[in-house]
Structures are given as C-alpha cells and as structure tokens.
Structure 1
C-alpha cells in the first residue's frame, strides 16, 4: 500500500516517494561529509599537515574538520532564509549541488609537498562550503516530509531525513574500506583516498534527479498564500521563540559529541592507542554506522508511540552513563572492546537522532520553521561537534582518554536537561500557531482513521 496525502491545489503525493527523496538527498550529503571525517584522521594529517608532526598534524586536521561545524549555522541562516521565503524544493537542490561540487574538488587537491601552504588553505575553503551546504540541508529535507505527513505518523516519516544521514555514514565508511582493501599504505596515501571523493559525483547526479521531481509542501504554500513570504525569517524566529531555539540547540549537544566520539575519535584511538590495523578499525567503524542507522529507525518509531521527548531523554541518559564506563572496557578488551564501544555509542546517538525531525518541526511556526529548525540543529554542532575535537588530542595526551569520556558525558547531561525543559508537541497541526491547544487523543485517532481511508 502507498500512503498518499492530497491538498486542494496539488496532485496526490506519495509519502513513500517524499520519504525516499528526503532520504536520498541526506544520504548523499552526509556520505560526502562522512568521507571528510574519516579522511581527517586517516589521511589529511600526513598529506596536508606533514610538517607539524603526528599530534599537531592531527589537531590541525581535526580543526579543518571542525570548520564545517562553524559554517553550518551560517548555512542554516542563509538557506533557511531562502527556504522560508522561496520554498523548500529549490533550496534543497542548491545545497546538494554545492555539497557535491566541493566534495569532488577535495579529491583534486595536490598534497602540501607539491603546493605548500596553499593545499590546506584550499582544503579549509572547500570544507567551509561543505558546512554551508549541510547547514541548509537537514532542516529542508525534514520539512519536506514533516509538512506532508499525517500528525499521528510524523515521527516515522520525518525520521527518513535522519535515516539518510545513517545511510550516508554507512556509505562513506564502505567507500573508505573498499578503497583501502588490497592497497598498500603508500598507494592509499598517494591516490587511493581520492577515489571516493571523485566517485561521489555519480551520487550527486542521482540525488539531483530525485529532488527535481518532488513538489513544494502544501503547508508552505498555504502559509505564503495566507501571510505572504516573511521578510526576515531568522530575525522573526529569534524574536518570537528565543527560548525554544536555545534549548533545542542544547538537546543536540549529545548527538554531535557522541557521534564524533563513536566514529572519528575511536577510529583514531583504535589505531594509535590500541595498535589495531587500519582495515579492522575501518570495518568496525562501518559496523558502528549500521548500529547508528538502526538506532535512528527505532527512535523514529518510538517517537510516535511514546513521544519525542521521552525517547530523546532515555537516549540522553544512556549517553551520560556509557562514556564513563566505556574506556575501561575499551582498554581491557582490545579489538572486541573497540567494536562494542563504537557500536553502542553509535546506537545511542542514532536513537536520539530519530525523533529530531518531528520534534523540531512541531516546535516552530511555519513562517520561520526552516530557519529556526536549521539553526538549532547546526548551532549545536559548534559546541558538540567542532570544539571537542580541538581538545581531544590534548586531553587524551595530558589526562587520558577517560577524561574525554567525562567531557562527552557532561555535554550529554546538559542535553538531557534541555530535553526535559521543552514541551512535547507530538500531533500538533503544523499550519497552526505553536502554543495553541494540543490535539485531543480522539483527534489523532480520527486523523489516523482518515489516513487509513486515503491509502491505496
């Protein structure tokens, strides 16, 4: 059966088709983003920062990785402005194009041994463009499904944009593993790492074809017809709902910090501190991204059944506890301990990510929803995804890896507090003003029954 939603001035739209379009786009963009994350710890310190030595080179490479997190809030403001004024569809096509071009160009950058300091400068510039694109991507992809979805199933359908991020993480890990198998370290550092970046142009072409064949959301069209396009949606959002924006950003600190811990930090830790070879470490990272994707799916399902806030609160609680017990197990267990640590960390992270699409969509008004949701999602990346990597190497070297786990645990505790301070608006009509009466359970059941009658 295919669930279809009809609006008075558009043809019936398949929710499955919209979900696939949302998922495919974020898969491609997050795969490109993930390629950079893995290359930042495996390749870039030796290719672009060889003169700095191992520790300083890794720190510089991770700082480059963090540049994108600094750029993402600016991308959310820029593309959120156009997304709220001109529509979701065109904005998403633009973000995907920018992401694809910048990723392919990374694969062409000569090493520092050939062009000197110009190499890391080009790398930082392209990374900043990647950050701008991703900053405008996730919120638009989420709203494409959330603004079509029936209220009683919004957690499930909105989850597909985040699920695309999970598939993107799997794809990027698979590309790196596939590219390194049967290849010497010299060949991999010379040219092997470039292949996944160059091959991503094929995925971008597929993503553009999918996105060009979706319609604008009826919720956005109705808002423009009723009130006109907002002049400054980002400014309006901060004037109307500053508390919600700040707390929503806080809820995602644990997602960013735990994701970095589970993939980037532990990938490097497995090789440098546990002495595990590159290929087994990358295969473990690949398995961890599968657990991350499973967590996203389950988080989206439980968000409809038990509520967005409860699902995220349980995941945040687990993220507070697990880093405190992880490193003793990790150091004692060798490769098995690494696999357990990475997979559990990523599963917890995915479970918290699953409800986010519905949670943020229901938190903000339509007139500035793209700007507010996008900024909240990406601003948290600075505190959770950009700053911790800068201190990871120095904290581990000076105080031990356990203290880095303590830092992640504290960020997760802050996220838990923010989750509990926000309301759960599950089932809210997205065309109504936030803060109005929440639908009665009978209304949700009636809507669900209507949805069942409109499926074919």
Structure 2
C-alpha cells in the first residue's frame, strides 16, 4: 500500500521537497508565535500585567497564563477538524491562522494593569486561550503526508523535517527580542518595543498561510491527501479504536517535551530573577543554543535511520536523565555553568525532539493517522511542556534546583517506560 502511494506520488510529479518547505514554514511561524509570547512572559509581562507582585510571583503568574494555550489546544483540534469535515481544509486553515494572527497581534494592543486593572490580565488570558485554539486548528496533515512519502531507509530523516520549525521559530523570536532590548532604552522597550514582535508575528502568519494554502487547497495535493486517507475522523472513533496509541505516543515523547521549555524559557527566567548575567548575554547564548538545536535536529534524522527511531528516543531519554543530574551544579556555577546548561540542553533537545513525533504517529494506520498525530502532539505538549516553566521555576525558587532535576528525570522515566512497555507499538 505504501509503495503504491509513493509510486502514485512520483507519477503525479509531487515532490517531497515542496511538502518539506511548506511544513517547515508552517511550523516555524507557529513556534515563532509561541516563543514571542514565552520570552515576553519573562521579560515584559511581570512588569506590565503584574506590577503589584514581586518579580518571582509576577513571572509565575505569567507562566500560568502561558500554559492556557496548551490546555485549549486539543479543543482547537477537535473544533477545527469538525470545521474541516463540513467546509474543507482551506476554510479550516484560513480561519485557524487568522485567529492565531488576531490573538497574537491583539496582545500587542493590550493596555497594562496600570491602565485598566484586572481587565488587562483577563484579556491577556482570553487571547492566550485563543492562541491555543488556533494552533490546534492549524494542523494541516502535511507532516503526515511527508512521512508517508518517505523512503523506507529515510524515515528518520523525513520525520525530522517538521521538527526543524521549533529551533527556527525560536531563533527568529529570540533574535528580534535581542535586537529590540539591546537597541532601545529600557523605558521605550517596556512601553512599546516589546509589542513589535507581536506585530511581526501577524505578518509572518499571513505569509505562512499563503505558503501552506498553496499546497493544501490545490487539486493535486487535495487528491493526494485524500488518497492517503489524511482526513479527520471523529474523536470518539479515534479514542475507541486507537486511544492507547494516543496515550503511548504522548508519553513516549515526554522527555523531549519536558526539556523543551526548560532550556528555552526557564534559564532566561532563572537568570533574570537572580541577575547573574545581563539579559542580552543570555539571549545571545540562547541564539547559539538554537543553532545547536538545528544541528541536533538534523543529526537526529541520520542517527534514527541508522539505529532506529525507537532506540534513538530511548538513548536520548537516558542522556536527558543524566543531564538532569548535573542541572543544579551547572546553574549554581555562575555564568559559565549557566551557559553550559543552555548549550548542552539545546543540543540534547535537538537530538531528541527531532524524532519525538515520527516514531509514534506511524502507529495509527492510514485512517486514524491525521487526527491521531494531531491529538498525540496536543496531549504530549499538555502533559510535558505546558506547566514546565511554571513548575520548574516555582519549585526551584522555593525549594531548590533539585526539583528541576526531578522534573526532567520524571519526563525521561516516562519516555523509557512507554518505550519499554509498548515495544510493538513504537515503530522505527
């Protein structure tokens, strides 16, 4: 069946490279939105929306609102798949990305707490929830289509391609904040400078929308998606037939998801809180880390094709567990140790996250793959990443950095348990 699909694809002149470009553009735009919000949660929101709190408590409240998008994301997936079944993929994607752009740009226009009081926090929370709904609705099936067209011995490489959007989106967001923060006076940055990345996010979403619509609403791609059965199915049917796969898939990638925000947002919040390094220096190190993340993601494709995706996930979970043991030592070792924590973490993140989705989404079979891959990702983000910066910062600040180690170690343990208990359902 797979060979027939690939042969038909080749006959129709559909190039995997075109799909790959569309996937990377789409994912990078989504992650840019997320990281713009995440970085602002550390540098801006505690002062703008929670001026009545101390810096730590303000940051924790910001991270609590940050988590709302991960809670509403599965709801967006279900809602917009219903829209797709009724009005088509193009309507669904257009509505989702415009909602994402509206909610992201809307944050840029929000007055602070000093102007409208608690309403500022309420509006920020609502717009953040809309971001999550929109991101759930932006699933277009292109990563699954790319995986289905992967040559048998290059599945790890093709699974890596969609994951490239994360480090690319982070680099763009961090670079923009670094430029603004280093070139503006502090008062100007807090007044209007922080809003600019949210405007840029809307423009990027428009570009990404047309890049993706160019693929998913043309007749030849529409036919190809239908031939590969990449269409939404009712969630009840998915849970009834493949519910265990959704759960296993989410936990199998938990080490990567737990690490995700603990090397991007947590170090920035921790160092900012303790003022051990200038913010601009931390952002520069994180940019270097983002490059390491790209290299690691690329390397994960080669490693997975040589040793198997399941083995790669398991080996990286063990390395993340080892890394978790050294985290408190590194973060307590001054600027050099903090930088090593960030750089090593990004390298491990790239290697593990590069295969976090591919080894599990293949287990659903053609009919359930489209909806199953989306909901598995939603659940993995919710369990592993949604509350990571909030929990890690709160526990570390009040009880010590050992709790950061425990959090990371628990994610690695869940991954190893899922891989070990369900060997037959985690495919290479």
Tell me if TM exceeds 0.5: yes
For each residue in 1:275-323, what CA deviation from the matched residue of structure 2 results, as whole angstroms up to 9, or x when unmatched? Answer: 2111111112222222222222211232222211011111111111101
CA distance in 2, matches of 1:9, 1:151: 15
In structure 2, the residue matched to 1:409 is 409
Partner of 1:351: 351
The 10-residue stretch of structure 1 (407-416 or 32-41) with the greater mean CA deviation from structure 2: 407-416
Q: Distance in 2 between matches of 1:263 and 1:278?
A: 13
In 1: Cα distance, 2:6 partner to 2:162 partner:
18
The equivalent residue for 1:425 is 427
Tell me how far 1:101 sits from its aligned partner.
2.2
1:59 partnered with 2:64: no
The SS at the match of 1:356 is coil
1:413 Cα offset (Å)? 1.2
Q: How does 1:36-51 map to 2 (within 5 A)?
A: 36-51=37-52
Q: Report the equivalent of 1:368.
A: 368
Cα gap change, 1:83 to 1:286, in 2 (>3 Å): farther
Alignment of 1:261-340 (within 5 A): 261-273=262-274, 275-332=276-333, 334-340=334-340
Alpha-carbon distance between aligned partners in 2 of 1:330 and 1:239, rounded to the nearest angstrom:
45
RMSD: 2.5
CA distance in 2, matches of 1:82, 1:358: 26
Q: Distance in 1 between matches of 2:375 and 2:231?
A: 19
Distance of 2:169 and 2:142 partners within structure 1? 14
On the 8 A contact 1:262/1:342 being kept in 2, the answer is yes
Q: Provide the rounded CA distance (Å) in 2 between the counterparts of 1:354 and 1:221.
A: 27
Q: 1:90 and 1:349, CA in 2 relative to 1: closer, same or farther beyond 3 A?
A: farther
Query: Do 1:77 and 1:374's aligned partners in 2 also have CA atoms closer than 8 Å?
Result: no
User: Which whole-Å deviations, capped at 9, do the CAs of 1:118-142 have from their partners, x for residues lacking one?
Assistant: 1111111111111122234457341
Partner of 2:204: 203
**2:231 & 2:339 partners in 1: Cα distance?**
50
CA 1:378–1:10: 2 relative to 1, 3 Å: same
What secondary structure is seen at the aligned counterpart in 1 of 2:183? Answer: coil
CA distance in 2, matches of 1:161, 1:7: 23
CA distances 1:135-167 after superposition (whole Å, capped 9, x unpaired)? 344573412422333343233223221111221
1:116 maps to 117
What 5-or-longer segments of structure 2 have no aligned partner?
A: none
- 2:168 maps to what in 1? 167
C-alpha distance in structure 2 between counterparts of 1:316 and 1:50, whole Å: 39
Using the alignment, how far apart are the partners of 2:350 and 2:133 within structure 1?
Answer: 23
Q: Distance in 2 between matches of 1:422 and 1:73?
A: 26
- TM normalised by structure 1 equals 0.85
In 2, the alpha carbon distance for the partners of 1:201 and 1:164 equals 17
Q: Structure 2: how far apart are the matches of 1:139 and 1:357? A: 15
SS in 2 for 1:241: helix
> Which position in structure 2 is the counterpart of 1:184?
185
Measured in 2, the distance between the counterparts of 1:356 and 1:322 equals 18
Q: What SS does the aligned partner of 1:386 have?
A: coil
Q: Secondary structure at the match of 2:12?
A: strand
Q: Any residues of structure 2 matched to 1:201-240 within 5 Å, and which?
A: 201-215=202-216, 216=221, 220-222=225-227, 232-240=233-241
**Unaligned residue ranges in structure 1 (runs of 5+):** 427-456
CA contact (8 A) 2:253 2:357 kept: no
TM-score (norm 2): 0.90
- Are the equivalent residues in 2 in contact too, given 1:44–1:61 (CA < 8 A)? yes
Query: How do 1:428-447 and structure 2 match up within 5 A?
Result: none
* Greater displacement, 8-17 / 258-267: 8-17
Shift, 1:190, TM fit:
0.9
CA distance in 1, matches of 2:205, 2:243: 36
Deviates more, 1:265-274 or 1:58-67: 265-274
1:206 positional shift: 1.8
| 1:245 alignment counterpart | 246
Q: Residues of 1 paired with 2:413 and 2:166: CA distance? A: 24
Is the CA contact (8 Å cut-off) linking 1:256 and 1:385 kept in structure 2? yes
Once the two structures are TM-superposed, the CA of residue 247 in structure 1 deviates from its matched residue by 1.1
Quick check: 2:56–2:273 contact (8 Å CA) kept in 1? no
- Is contact 2:32-2:169 (8 Å) kept? yes
- Give the 3 Å change call, closer, same or farther, for CA 82–184 of structure 1 in structure 2: same
Find the aligned partners of 2:321 and 2:182 in 1 and give their Cα distance: 36
Structure 2 partner of 1:26: 27
- Structure 1 residues 291 and 89, CA, compared in 2 at 3 Å: closer, same or farther? farther
Q: 2:106 and 2:11 mapped to 1: Cα distance?
A: 39
C-alpha distance in 1, partners of 2:94/2:373?
19
The whole-number CA distance in structure 2 between the counterparts of 1:86 and 1:350 is 37
